[in-house]
Amino acid sequence: MSAVAIKNGQTRERAPGLKEMGTLRCDGCGEEFIVFHDPAFAEKAAAERQAHWLEKVLADDHERGQKHGDRIQLPD
């Protein structure tokens, strides 16, 4: 499946043809990421699992003092 989280504000140019599945806000800094799926494989349950995974990745970025990427590939 093609699933990606893209930082809000980067989405129009960087997610052509993908279906918006939801938005996640980083607890550490408030930046928002929008989860996108390939429309052929869009699945709400998968998007919820990916959002939970993404929360951990964003928290790890803060623990390591790193900035969040503009685009984060999500696991299937």
Residue 33's Cβ-count burial label (10 Å; 0-12, 13-18, 19+) is: buried
Query: Quick one: pLDDT at residue 74?
Result: 97
Q: Taking 90 as the threshold, does the pLDDT of residue 67 lie above it?
A: yes
Query: Quick one: pLDDT at residue 15?
Result: 73
Q: Would residue 54 be called left, alpha or beta, if left means φ above 0 and alpha means ψ between -120 and 50 degrees?
A: alpha
Q: Spell out where 1-76 has E strands.
A: 3-7, 19-25, 32-37, 71-73
Query: Quick one: pLDDT at residue 1?
Result: 55
* Each residue's pLDDT tens digit, 4-61: 999 998 755 567 889 999 999 999 999 999 999 999 999 999 999 999 999 999 999 9
Average pLDDT value over all residues in the chain: 92
